[in-house]
Structure 1
């Protein structure tokens, strides 16, 4: 992989199932092995995003990550999670505990959050009050249901994960473009260009290009960032292949734009410690 440009990887997962079996949903997959900072190419920073199979493990994971950070200097920022079925007082408590880590920057909720429910509205309000980020994870078919929530939460920083998790089936491209066009209209929403290997099953830059270029067109250079989603995206190819594809697609943009997309925007949005 070319190393002439800084890369802050704004979406990685560490896990250590040999010690902490918190990821039951991954047990049957080849990636269910210890993945630690040393398993990534040397870079300029990582944003770790929680992938525990049950939110009941969020506190234990946050404490483990803080120990990893103290030992290795990584991750540079942490996106945790909460249990959307818990009483809101418990959600507030869990956020306070996770925020004991200086690297904590917000949450994503992988499943179970009803965007029309009062819990979702209160969660985004709480995150705004605490200057934390809401990483929005939803498949393309479910994204539209989040639009009213985001519209009612203009003070909350929202990062749309995995470029809106496009469905590559025909005629999938047009509906995907339409829904992320709606998100791009909200000035508080950034787009994390990640997970395309997972969604499309390839790291071929020509297959990724229309999705990457659409995100850049709609959100603009200042509101997009690249990420690997590794080890999950390893189903499509190597880490080097994926990052090389992003670099190839964006090579005509020039050094300043590439620096924003590969490093500066993630560093600013997640307030990286290093």
Structure 2
């Protein structure tokens, strides 16, 4: 497989279901439908030939819909779906998804951990059992966290060495704020061999109207130093990124932020890491 991989993007159809995270008028710019057909020309212009389509809401019906999209579209190489990790039948739910004709496109599971009131939600016994079922199914788990959740994430990663974790959006630091305690928490996660990290979601953690690449560089430097390029992967977070930047601008920013890497290291960030971690074919 050649070409770049966009390891993190979404689609949604507001006529099918509401996106419950779209709260407030500041999200009006993305309050419309987005499809793979909308992404395709943007991806082609950026030399992206494969993508990972990631869940947006915690409802079971979305994952089968995304699997159908992946099976019918050459651009989507994998799906990170959703299942209720607190349920007693996580293994059965995952098996049902994987046994579908399009089930091979399921590569991982994600939950909006940063929306849970309990910062130690990941440490609950039922959640840990659900995560173990994800490992047993041969899937990856995407960690959607912020700084207050990093300690629980670390303990969970250490408790489940058989599960591969991917940190989304570098755990969403406030760009322009203090690097600590985010940097220390993320470095602790990076010290665990079963964790990778997505270089994604950065522009929307900065000022939406006047961010600069130089604002993002200190955070990216921490990520690249802590994980190494072979455990870092580019993701656009399209169309959420449109709140602050176009698809092309996000790609260009990522190129500038990784300009100091060797050609092989850049290849890792822009494709090889995602292909290996998500087992994309």
What TM-score, normalized by structure 2, do the two folds share?
A: 0.86
2:265 to 232, 252, 257: 257
**Contact 1:26/1:32, CA 8 A, preserved across alignment:** yes
In structure 2, what is the Cα distance between the partners aligned to 1:6 and 1:213?
A: 24
In structure 2, what is the Cα distance between the partners aligned to 1:135 and 1:263?
A: 17
**Contact 2:63/2:82, CA 8 A, preserved across alignment:** no
Correspondence 1:237 to 2:245 = yes
Correspondence 1:194 to 2:190 = no
Residue 8 of structure 1 corresponds to which residue in structure 2?
Answer: 5
In structure 2, what is the Cα distance between the partners aligned to 1:10 and 1:65?
A: 15
Partner SS, residue 269 of structure 2: helix
**Contact 1:120/1:149, CA 8 A, preserved across alignment:** no
Residue 150 of structure 2 corresponds to which residue in structure 1?
Answer: 143
Number of aligned positions between the proteins: 261
Larger mean CA deviation between 178-187 and 75-84 belongs to 75-84
Correspondence 1:133 to 2:135 = no
Q: Which runs of 5 or more residues in structure 1 are unaligned?
A: none
Give every structure 1 segment of 4 or more consecutive aligned residues whose post-TM-superposition deviation is greater than 4 Å: none
**Contact 1:65/1:75, CA 8 A, preserved across alignment:** no
Residue 181 of structure 1 corresponds to which residue in structure 2?
Answer: 187
In structure 2, what is the Cα distance between the partners aligned to 1:201 and 1:38?
A: 29
> After the TM superposition, which residues 6-45 of structure 1 pair with which residues of structure 2 at under 5 Å, given as runs?
6-18=3-15, 20-26=16-22, 29=27, 30-40=29-39, 41=42, 42=44, 43-45=48-50
**Contact 2:176/2:215, CA 8 A, preserved across alignment:** no
- State the 1:169 CA deviation: 5.8
Aligned in 2, Cα 1:64/1:136: closer, same or farther, shift over 3 Å? same
- State the 1:63 CA deviation: 2.2
Residue 103 of structure 1 corresponds to which residue in structure 2?
Answer: 105
**Contact 1:80/1:98, CA 8 A, preserved across alignment:** no
Aligned in 2, Cα 1:272/1:189: closer, same or farther, shift over 3 Å? same
Residue 63 of structure 1 corresponds to which residue in structure 2?
Answer: 64
Larger mean CA deviation between 67-76 and 189-198 belongs to 67-76
What TM-score, normalized by structure 1, do the two folds share?
A: 0.88
- State the 1:253 CA deviation: 1.5
TM-align CA RMSD: 1.9
Residue 156 of structure 1 corresponds to which residue in structure 2?
Answer: 163
Q: Which runs of 5 or more residues in structure 2 are unaligned?
A: none
Aligned in 2, Cα 1:130/1:254: closer, same or farther, shift over 3 Å? same
In structure 2, what is the Cα distance between the partners aligned to 1:169 and 1:140?
A: 15
Residue 49 of structure 1 corresponds to which residue in structure 2?
Answer: 54
**Contact 1:6/1:259, CA 8 A, preserved across alignment:** no
Residue 166 of structure 1 corresponds to which residue in structure 2?
Answer: 173
